[in-house]
Chain A
Amino acid sequence: MADFEPVLLRRVGRPLDIWAYRADGGYRPLEKALNELQPPQIIQMVRDAGLRGRGGAGFSCGLKWSFLPKDHPGPIYLCVNIDESEPCTFNNRYLIENDPHQVIEGVLLACYATRATTAYLYFRYEYGKAARIMQQAIGEAYAHGLLGDNILGKGLNVNAYIHRGAGAYICGEETGLIESLEGKRAWPRIKPPYPAVEGAFRKPTVVNNPETLSCVVHIIDRGADWFKSLGIPSSDPARPERGSYGPKLYNLSGHINKPGTFEIPMGITTQELIDKYGGGVWKGKKAKGAIPGGLSTGILTAAEFDARLDYDDLARYEIMGLGTAAVTVFDEDTSIVDVVYNIARFFSHESCGQCTPCREGTGWMLQILERMRAGQGRREDLDILADVGDRIGIIPGTTICGLSDGAGWPIKNAVKKFRAEFEAYIKSGQKKQTVSLALAHH
């Protein structure tokens, strides 16, 4: 097993209450920050540490905080994105169910750094247990003077509220989340303006993933250099900001012997994760491929498992990014058409339907795959799939949010990387039963 001593998961198995957390040294980084550091210094430390967002996009956390307008009269809001709806992803749930105060401490540090006075913790509806644990922890924090007015007697005022969503993937997109928080339907907003300028209730807003915020606690505690000592620097010396640093939670699921959540320094290869942490592919089979970071990121073939799971290296295999670092393995007997069909069904269902390319494109890809599975596929369909998959999204610039990039990416990956299998499938006109890929959560 790992020689690495867990940081984010160090308290797994310890009691959840605030006394235990404090006894384990919790809230001391906060005290330290309030006593010794000014907000701009914290932002600088987070930047220096090279902390990139754990929610999917991998944007530099310190840089995002620095986009807030200076001298804004307030209020400024922090939204913690616990919508975690990317299939096969359960990092945030694990983190919160095992150590809620670590997240609250991260929230407080972020609020101090950004001068936010209100934090909304947006939970996907299905995370009832996590939300209840968090509610309990928030209550304790208020009782201990760690939330509310004049926190730790240092003049910091932060109120925290839990908001539970109503079950849509799109609520995790940061502006969809904000709309939903405001009581509207979660239709992502057109950017610019970005939330840092005009977010919740038209006020400057920071949206962060709870894992990102948890990292902040340890950056304050152990320093930016420590954080940077873990992980992998950028392969491009001209763009040092593209490095992948710090500890990372990885999810492993699918056709694997030991699925689970593992904390590992950034940059482990796919193969190593599967073999060393997941105990290899199940039933002694070989892997056909894997989804490296949530459905949105794309599909790796087994031959590409040397890819490092970081922000940089996956691009070698035309993978969109690290995403949520949730690896789902499928074995050699899995039909790629079924895999892709399941993916298409998910995105067509979850597209908010606002922008035409996404709504129509996801619908089309699904219909073509349905037809294929009904034995009526045509070879031209593959080009259409690749074409549509390539044309929808914010990267080609045809949609409002990234959902559609995520919808197109795995499909165009699959068509390219598994073209022979698709062609054989179409040719044989076979009707396959759905072999349900373990898309459900762990």
Chain B
Amino acid sequence: MPEQVQLTIDGRLVTVAAGTTVWEAARAAGIDIPVLCHQPRLRPVGVCRLCVVDVGARVLAASCVRACEEDMEVQTTSPRIERSRRVLLELLLADHPSPCARERTTGDCELEALARRYGLLDRRYEQGPTRPIDDSSRVIAVDHNACILCDRCIRACDEIQSNEVIGRVDRGGAARIAFDLDQPMGQSTCVSCGECAASCPTGALTNKPLARRTGESGLLPLVPRSQTTAVDSVCPYCGVGCALTYHVRDNRILWADGRDSPGNEGRLCVKGRYGWDYALHEQRLTRPLIRRAEFYPKGPLSRDVRGTPSPPTPLPPGERGERQKTPLPRSGGEGRNGIVDYAEVLPAFREASWDEALDRIASRLKAIKQAHGSAALAGFGSAKCSNEEAYLFQKLIRAALGTNNVDHCTRLCHASSVAALLEGIGSGSVTDVFGDARLADVILLTGSNTTANHPVAATFFKEATRCGTKLIVVDPRRPDIANFAAFYCRTNPGTDVAFYNAVMHVLVTEGLCNEDFIRDRTENFEALRDLVVDYSPERMAPVCGIDAETIRAVARTIGGARAMMTFWGMGISQHTHGTDNARCLIALCLLTGNVGQPGTGLHPLRGQNNVQGASDAGLIPMYYPDYQKVGDPAVRAKFEAAWGVPLDPAPGLTVVEIMAGALEGCIRGMFMMGENPFLSDPNINKVRKALSKLEFLAVQDIFLTETAEFADVVLPASSFLEKTGTYTNTDRRVQIGRNALVPPGEARLDWQVLCELSTRLGYPMDYTSPEEVFAEFASLTKSYAGLTYANLGTTGKLWPCPDPDHSEGTKVLFAERFPTPTGRGRFVPCAFQTAKELPDGDYPLVLNTGRLLEHWHTGTMTRRAQALDALQPGPFVEVHPDDLGRYGLADGATVTVRSRRGAIRLEARASRAVTPGSVFIPFHFREAAANVLTIDELDPYGKIPEFKFCAVRLEK
């Protein structure tokens, strides 16, 4: 087949690559051929026939599907063609409800635009609406009358998102699109990603309004695109870091569109597309708050934060009587409402000026420092904040407060993975981007409920399986993506090391290793080999719960792979042996040579939108920015010189250690920006005591979080949507998030607050913009060196990016050597150990915790996003039907889940995703906080708590 073909289109000679369609060739030549069923992101199907052209054959050809041929002579318009198009449009317009829902909202119905172009506003055929309207989805309105059956939605759902929800029912004139087996959309398996509505050319599928009005009830209608300002930004939620565009009018986001970027390729999930309205929630903090004198000694204020099992602490007189008159709205677990009732909390605070609040923080922190030394102070930053904010925050704690006690929630998600990666391959970041999963012939996905937690990354994995990539899923709780797997291994909870050692045993004993790679690129292989010889599949099968034959089959699939990519989530990392789990995965990849080439590599899927960047920026106790060791005197000297102050030589404490320190009394003063440890840290009853015990706590956040109930001073922060900064996604892609809104009331931009506070602490910070902060940060690192706001552009760069003006940055790391002292990857053999708290007679069940698609962490944002809240309104525990029967519980009954540390009450839901003997609770819900139950045991290396395993029991 020739590589290029030459043809004429409308008399113009064009040369295109073989296989190019006539429509693409015409478009490249600047010739517009109208289309309806075609959309460049979708596989062409050629069903609407609007794009017909004359290719010199007896019949007209649909240009969207017809490949160019050598010497073809194409006419894109002629009386015959135009007549055909007109008749077609007339037929479609006949029963089109004009203006349809799209024309009435975003004003961009493609059919009505064509009607105007062809002057077909007068109808020769007409008919009223005869087809149903489906209003059941929370986010998408369905009007079958406007549907032209172009099947774009079907392909968008199938091919872009791989959700496979939409199909067609019936035939001929009765044909209709349908969800699942013709369910109402809201009751189907639809996950509300909105890709179908984004692809629909007409008003058949349109986004429902979600923007709140100020001060009134009801929602703002969508308006034509031309009347909005488009702000190119990124999604504030997960580490996938999807590029999107907000459509803004009058300081209100009206809707969001996915934006084409090499990362997400225009895709979004429900959170990114429909989860932005939290920013205008009425509970936003707009003025600084100072705790009233009557509310000392400090303690929790709201009923949920006090916790049900312990008797409520009496409220001061006056407040109490009033509050009890208005019963709390009831929903969710124990009949409590999802978000905090400000009436319970706000009376404990009075409004203050910024000056007063900042002075109060500065003076109290300084006083503690003077009396007890810098080590008595600590700060929690947040992986929700930008690189600039993270950089300034750690700089403030280190340079102004003089301590390395600075950490953030990375500790709770991938600290163990990072520890293992640094030890094994010398770098904690991913070695290849998630999109390269398409190049792998095997994907190993373990401890990750990807479709819920990294939904857009999951679309790439699902897509890869359709093209022949084999997916291996290893997880004790069956994630939905297992539907796409060649192997789904339901391991026993906490037995990953046993499983992977057995897999490696097979690789080693059956000669399936990549010996060249082991010889040239690694060290300590012998130690690994000596360990895994004892882990035969036959021996490990009863331990990990996977039969020996399957272990062997999995190992052979891995061993036979040309390129395998390994992804993991918190099911691997959140264990007391989380580092060991990650070490096994690293060893597996080194053993098979699966690092350093496209479509191979190690990819811990990062949780928060900026967990990579916050870590890069030094928001961790043992590293300055870019993982430069605090303990290294040369490094310290570099930062002392850069920052102009002496720095503490001792590495600081980690999140859970700081909480323990607060309880013991050695940590006395804290500053928290955007973190909510009350819900996110393990063993809440202990956290409650620790927070109550802090001498001084300042919290900077957008809402009065559970943690803020323990604060002395609360600062009103700006939300993601109100500020500009850079965020680094799981792929190491540094992208600019741009402000779409103006902060409410007196809320301030966080970087400005940090500068103010630092100055008041005696360490002046004087920046004029986030861009300037970024420049300083980048100049102190190797990874970000050379990056600027200008060259990041609209789609960002992957660090490292030595030539940002000409390159996208580096997808694949370590093609030649690893950044370890020897340049080699290191095998670290790990013996299998059991979890810390095994089930027993009293607490017979294993508790696993995690997240839901619709919610983010402690729910501060998502539970205030109407659509997300409506889709997942309350807490529940997933229990296997056999266990429900065993304990005499009904599906949907309210139950108590109790561990040695506490108890919560919530709804029991039958689920076969969990095995008998284990239960699962999402941790987003304050009214039944899963972390009341979890154990605060730590992984010795990563200091990550064991969120995924503790013993509980069910009570009626």
Binding site for B on A (CB under 8 A): 168, 170, 185, 190, 347-357, 359-364, 366-368, 380, 384, 387-388, 391, 394-400
User: In the complex the two chains form, is B84's CB within 8 Å of A391's CB?
Assistant: yes
B420 at the interface (CB under 8 A from A): no
User: In the complex the two chains form, is A352's CB within 8 Å of B171's CB?
Assistant: yes
Rounded to whole angstroms, the CA-CA distance of A58 and B927 in the bound complex is 74
Task: List A contacts of B170 (CB < 8 A).
Answer: 353
B215 at the interface (CB under 8 A from A): no
Given contacts A357-B49, A357-B87, A391-B87, contact A397 B59 (CB under 8 A): yes
Given contacts A351-B173, A398-B52, contact A359 B46 (CB under 8 A): no
B159-196: CB near A (< 8 Å → 1, else 0) gives: 00000000010111111000000000000000000000
Rounded to whole angstroms, the CA-CA distance of A282 and B766 in the bound complex is 104
Mind listing 8 A-B residue pairs with CB under 8 Å?
Answer: A351-B171, A356-B36, A356-B37, A366-B173, A384-B124, A396-B59, A397-B84, A398-B84
How far does the Cβ of A196 sit from chain B's closest Cβ, in whole Å?
17
User: In the complex the two chains form, is A357's CB within 8 Å of B172's CB?
Assistant: no
User: In the complex the two chains form, is B168's CB within 8 Å of A353's CB?
Assistant: yes
Q: Which of A185, A349, A350, A359 has the most CB of B within 10 A?
A: A359
Interface on chain B toward A: helix, strand, loop, or mixed SS? loop
Query: Which chain A residue shows the least CB distance to B84?
Result: A398
Rounded to whole angstroms, the CA-CA distance of A351 and B47 in the bound complex is 13
Rounded to whole angstroms, the CA-CA distance of A99 and B149 in the bound complex is 44
Task: List B contacts of A368 (CB < 8 A).
Answer: 125
B749-760: CB near A (< 8 Å → 1, else 0) gives: 000000000000
Given contacts A348-B173, A353-B171, A364-B125, contact A399 B91 (CB under 8 A): no
User: In the complex the two chains form, is B172's CB within 8 Å of A348's CB?
Assistant: yes
User: In the complex the two chains form, is A360's CB within 8 Å of B94's CB?
Assistant: yes
Given contacts A396-B59, A397-B84, A400-B47, contact A356 B148 (CB under 8 A): yes
Rounded to whole angstroms, the CA-CA distance of A357 and B88 in the bound complex is 6
User: In the complex the two chains form, is B60's CB within 8 Å of A353's CB?
Assistant: no
How far does the Cβ of A52 sit from chain B's closest Cβ, in whole Å?
18
How far does the Cβ of B53 sit from chain A's closest Cβ, in whole Å?
9
How far does the Cβ of A153 sit from chain B's closest Cβ, in whole Å?
41
User: In the complex the two chains form, is B91's CB within 8 Å of A356's CB?
Assistant: yes
Given contacts A348-B172, A363-B173, A396-B60, contact A356 B47 (CB under 8 A): yes
User: In the complex the two chains form, is B149's CB within 8 Å of A359's CB?
Assistant: yes
Binding site for A on B (CB under 8 A): 36-37, 45-50, 52, 58-62, 65, 83-84, 87-88, 91-92, 94, 124-125, 127, 148-150, 168, 170-175
Given contacts A388-B87, A396-B59, A398-B84, contact A353 B175 (CB under 8 A): yes
Task: List A contacts of B125 (CB < 8 A).
Answer: 364, 368, 384
Rounded to whole angstroms, the CA-CA distance of A219 and B580 in the bound complex is 76
User: In the complex the two chains form, is B62's CB within 8 Å of A360's CB?
Assistant: no
Query: Which chain A residue shows the least CB distance to B64?
Result: A190
Rounded to whole angstroms, the CA-CA distance of A380 and B52 in the bound complex is 27
User: In the complex the two chains form, is B172's CB within 8 Å of A349's CB?
Assistant: yes
Q: A356-B150, A388-B87 are in contact. List 10 more A-B contacts (CB 8 A).
A: A351-B172, A353-B172, A356-B48, A357-B84, A363-B172, A380-B124, A388-B91, A391-B87, A395-B58, A396-B60
Query: Which chain B residue shows the least CB distance to A168?
Result: B171
Query: Which chain B residue shows the least CB distance to A407?
Result: B172
Return the 5 tightest CB-CB contacts between A and B, nearest first.
Answer: A397-B60, A363-B173, A353-B175, A397-B59, A351-B172
User: In the complex the two chains form, is A355's CB within 8 Å of B92's CB?
Assistant: no
Given contacts A357-B49, A360-B94, contact A398 B88 (CB under 8 A): yes
Query: Which chain B residue shows the least CB distance to A367?
Result: B127
User: In the complex the two chains form, is B49's CB within 8 Å of A362's CB?
Assistant: no
Task: List B contacts of A364 (CB < 8 A).
Answer: 91, 94, 125
Rounded to whole angstroms, the CA-CA distance of A394 and B59 in the bound complex is 7
Query: Which chain B residue shows the least CB distance to A404?
Result: B49
User: In the complex the two chains form, is B171's CB within 8 Å of A190's CB?
Assistant: no
User: In the complex the two chains form, is B49's CB within 8 Å of A398's CB?
Assistant: yes
Given contacts A190-B46, A356-B91, A397-B52, contact A391 B173 (CB under 8 A): no
Task: List A contacts of B94 (CB < 8 A).
Answer: 360, 364
Rounded to whole angstroms, the CA-CA distance of A396 and B36 in the bound complex is 19
Q: Which listed residue, A347, A356, A397, touches B149 by the CB 8 Å rule?
A: A356
Rounded to whole angstroms, the CA-CA distance of A362 and B61 in the bound complex is 21
Rounded to whole angstroms, the CA-CA distance of A164 and B62 in the bound complex is 32
Given contacts A190-B46, A348-B172, A352-B171, contact A360 B59 (CB under 8 A): no
Task: List B contacts of A357 (CB < 8 A).
Answer: 49, 84, 87-88, 91
Q: Which of B62, B65, B150 has the most CB of A within 10 A?
A: B62
Rounded to whole angstroms, the CA-CA distance of A165 and B838 in the bound complex is 57
How far does the Cβ of B154 sit from chain A's closest Cβ, in whole Å?
11
Q: Which of A348, A356, A362, A391 has the most CB of B within 10 A?
A: A356
Task: List A contacts of B168 (CB < 8 A).
Answer: 185, 353
Rounded to whole angstroms, the CA-CA distance of A357 and B47 in the bound complex is 9
User: In the complex the two chains form, is A395's CB within 8 Å of B59's CB?
Assistant: yes
User: In the complex the two chains form, is B91's CB within 8 Å of A360's CB?
Assistant: yes
How far does the Cβ of B885 sit from chain A's closest Cβ, in whole Å?
38
Q: Which listed residue, B48, B84, B171, touches A396 by the CB 8 Å rule?
A: B84
How far does the Cβ of A179 sit from chain B's closest Cβ, in whole Å?
13
Query: Which chain B residue shows the least CB distance to A394?
Result: B59
Rounded to whole angstroms, the CA-CA distance of A283 and B876 in the bound complex is 77
Task: List A contacts of B50 (CB < 8 A).
Answer: 356
Q: Which of B47, B48, B84, B125 has the most CB of A within 10 A?
A: B47
Rounded to whole angstroms, the CA-CA distance of A243 and B403 in the bound complex is 98
User: In the complex the two chains form, is B49's CB within 8 Å of A356's CB?
Assistant: yes
How far does the Cβ of A266 sit from chain B's closest Cβ, in whole Å?
25
Rounded to whole angstroms, the CA-CA distance of A395 and B61 in the bound complex is 10
Query: Which chain A residue shows the least CB distance to B55?
Result: A397
Task: List B contacts of A356 (CB < 8 A).
Answer: 36-37, 47-50, 88, 91-92, 148-150
Task: List A contacts of B124 (CB < 8 A).
Answer: 380, 384
How far does the Cβ of A365 sit from chain B's closest Cβ, in whole Å?
10
User: In the complex the two chains form, is B47's CB within 8 Å of A398's CB?
Assistant: no
Task: List B contacts of A350 (CB < 8 A).
Answer: 171-172
Task: List A contacts of B91 (CB < 8 A).
Answer: 356-357, 360-361, 364, 388
User: In the complex the two chains form, is A362's CB within 8 Å of B59's CB?
Assistant: no
Query: Which chain B residue shows the least CB distance to A352?
Result: B171
User: In the complex the two chains form, is A397's CB within 8 Å of B61's CB?
Assistant: yes
How far does the Cβ of B912 sit from chain A's closest Cβ, in whole Å?
27
Rounded to whole angstroms, the CA-CA distance of A367 and B172 in the bound complex is 13
Rounded to whole angstroms, the CA-CA distance of A384 and B94 in the bound complex is 12
Task: List B contacts of A359 (CB < 8 A).
Answer: 149, 172-173, 175
Q: Which of B87, B127, B172 has the most CB of A within 10 A?
A: B172
Task: List A contacts of B175 (CB < 8 A).
Answer: 353, 359
How far does the Cβ of B158 sit from chain A's closest Cβ, in whole Å?
13
Task: List A contacts of B84 (CB < 8 A).
Answer: 357, 391, 396-398
Rounded to whole angstroms, the CA-CA distance of A347 and B173 in the bound complex is 9
How far does the Cβ of B467 sit from chain A's closest Cβ, in whole Å?
15
Query: Which chain A residue shows the least CB distance to B94?
Result: A364
Rounded to whole angstroms, the CA-CA distance of A357 and B58 in the bound complex is 18
Q: Which listed residue, A170, A362, A400, touches B173 by the CB 8 Å rule?
A: A362
Task: List B contacts of A168 (CB < 8 A).
Answer: 171
How far does the Cβ of A300 sit from chain B's closest Cβ, in whole Å?
25
Task: List A contacts of B150 (CB < 8 A).
Answer: 356
User: In the complex the two chains form, is B172's CB within 8 Å of A387's CB?
Assistant: no
Rounded to whole angstroms, the CA-CA distance of A355 and B45 in the bound complex is 10
Q: Which listed residue, A362, A388, A396, touches B172 by the CB 8 Å rule?
A: A362
Given contacts A360-B94, A396-B60, A397-B84, contact A353 B149 (CB under 8 A): yes
Task: List B contacts of A395 (CB < 8 A).
Answer: 58-59
Q: Which of B52, B88, B94, B127 has the most CB of A within 10 A?
A: B88
Task: List A contacts of B36 (CB < 8 A).
Answer: 356
Query: Which chain A residue shows the least CB distance to B89?
Result: A356
Rounded to whole angstroms, the CA-CA distance of A362 and B172 in the bound complex is 8
Task: List B contacts of A396 (CB < 8 A).
Answer: 59-60, 84
Query: Which chain A residue shows the least CB distance to B50?
Result: A356
Q: Which of A170, A353, A363 has the most CB of B within 10 A?
A: A353
Rounded to whole angstroms, the CA-CA distance of A396 and B47 in the bound complex is 15
Rounded to whole angstroms, the CA-CA distance of A95 and B171 in the bound complex is 30
